[in-house]
Amino acid sequence: MNRRILFEMNSVYRDSFRVAGYVFGHGEKSACIIGAMRGNEIQQLYICSQLVKRLSEIENAGGIKKGKSVMVVPCCNNYSMNVGKRFWPSDNTDINRMYPGYHLGETTQRIAAGIFEEIKDYQIGLQFASNYISGKFLPHVKIMETGFEDLEMAKTFDFPYVILRKPKPYDTTTLNYNWQIWETKAFSLYTASTDAIDKETAILAEKATLAFLAKQNIIEYNHKDIYDTKVLCENDMIPVKSDVSGIFLPEKGHDDLVSKGDILANIVDPYEGHVIRQITAPCKGRIFFVQDKTLLLSNALVYRIIKED
């Protein structure tokens, strides 16, 4: 294992800001794994820490294939993580909306440029990401439809779902999109949690990543697939919103099967305590996502459901 500083920036009031990468093996740039880009991505940081540990063991046992190398970057934003903020502390900008970056730009543009310069030539790029909406998701792999996506490779992850997303204008400055434009086969991996560790899906992500690297002939790792991966288009899932604000009390969680008309959640008046709305399932299916904020705003997305016939 070789620990490298990929980007460093001096600070006036505290220690320098550094982004570290852990390189395993020697040879071609086979795969790069990115963890926490935002300050609340504790789950993503934890998963990468476990991958650093496991890949170190695999390397010591001679399990990195000859001429191959893997780099893991556990955290790209430890400043925000140290002060408990999701985005960059001084200006609240998002590093994952700054790619491919600009060396003479604002702070997060320079960070993105420094990181991207080090990782853009890897053949495969994996990012443990978090959604802009806070909540619990079923584990899935997400790929952008850029014309460079590799759906067949995405299906080799041992994850329950592969989600295809049509890029919107703001997606063009994300790492996943720019990796693909620079001809890296890029995949975003999502587990059930972000700012707290969900150990079950963290273990799933660790094993699925190692199995994926083995299938790509990068490492030696014994694995057995447990999922028959399903491919879904993001827009095909049924969104469920609340038309009132109040205290959100869910009755159903992610991965639950529901029938049309089942009660998904109750919305309670925060002052008077009575139920002002019951949110019901619009169709039969499996709950893919449930938001986790206790105070709910009107017209907020609360569930996404994978419709089943």
Whole-number pLDDT of residue 282: 97
Alpha-carbon distance 10 to 94, whole Å?
Answer: 19
Q: What is the mean pLDDT of residues 216-232?
A: 92
Please report, for residues 29, 93, 145, the alpha-carbon distance to residue 6 in angstroms, rounded to integers and kept in the order given.
15, 21, 29
Q: Are 183 and 47 found together in one domain?
A: yes
Count how many Cα atoms sit within 13 Å of the Cα of residue 129 in the half-sphere of its side chain: 22
Q: Are 273 and 221 found together in one domain?
A: no
Q: Are 190 and 269 found together in one domain?
A: no
**Residue 152: which CATH number?**
3.40.630.10
Q: Are 266 and 220 found together in one domain?
A: no
Tell me which DSSP letter residue 148 carries.
-
Name the one residue in this structure whose structure tokens are 């999109």: 177
Name the one residue in this structure whose structure tokens are 């690297």: 213
Whole-number pLDDT of residue 82: 92
- Degrees (nearest 5) of the Cα angle 232, 237, 242? 160
Q: Are 179 and 38 found together in one domain?
A: yes
Query: Is residue 99 within 8 Å of residue 116, measured between CB atoms?
Result: yes
Alpha-carbon distance 244 to 241, whole Å?
Answer: 9
Q: Are 191 and 244 found together in one domain?
A: no
Q: Are 48 and 167 found together in one domain?
A: yes
Alpha-carbon distance 251 to 293, whole Å?
Answer: 14
Whole-number pLDDT of residue 226: 86
In percent, how much of the chain has pLDDT > 90?
92
Whether omega before 100 lies within 30 degrees of 0, making that bond cis, reads yes
Which two structure tokens, joined as six digits, stand for 76?
A: 């790209």
Least confident of 1-15, 48-62, 157-171, 175-189: 1-15
Alpha-carbon distance 123 to 179, whole Å?
Answer: 9
Alpha-carbon distance 277 to 294, whole Å?
Answer: 15
Count how many Cα atoms sit within 13 Å of the Cα of residue 67 in the half-sphere of its side chain: 1
Alpha-carbon distance 99 to 37, whole Å?
Answer: 12
Nearest to 279 by CA among 292, 295, 263, 268: 263
Q: Is the pLDDT of residue 308 over 90?
A: no
Alpha-carbon distance 247 to 295, whole Å?
Answer: 5
Whether omega before 139 lies within 30 degrees of 0, making that bond cis, reads no
Alpha-carbon distance 194 to 110, whole Å?
Answer: 25
> What tens digit of pLDDT does each residue of 56-78 get?
999 999 999 999 999 999 999 99
Q: What residue numbers bound the domain in which 28 lies?
A: 2-232
Q: Are 177 and 284 found together in one domain?
A: no
- Read off φ and ψ for residue 10, nearest 5 degrees: -70, 150
**Residue 277: which CATH number?**
2.40.50.100
Q: Are 241 and 222 found together in one domain?
A: no
Alpha-carbon distance 109 to 97, whole Å?
Answer: 9
Q: Are 40 and 108 found together in one domain?
A: yes
Among 201, 232, 263, the domain-final residue is 232
Nearest to 37 by CA among 65, 5, 77: 77
Quickly state the pLDDT bin for 230 (edges 50, 70, 90): very high
Among 209, 232, 255, the domain-final residue is 232
Q: Is the pLDDT of residue 224 over 90?
A: no
Q: Are 138 and 79 found together in one domain?
A: yes
Alpha-carbon distance 291 to 289, whole Å?
Answer: 7
The length of the chain, given as a count of residues: 309
Among 180, 209, 232, the domain-final residue is 232
pTM of structure:
0.94
Number of domains within the chain: 2
Q: Are 124 and 171 found together in one domain?
A: yes
> What tens digit of pLDDT does each residue of 251-263 get?
999 999 999 999 9
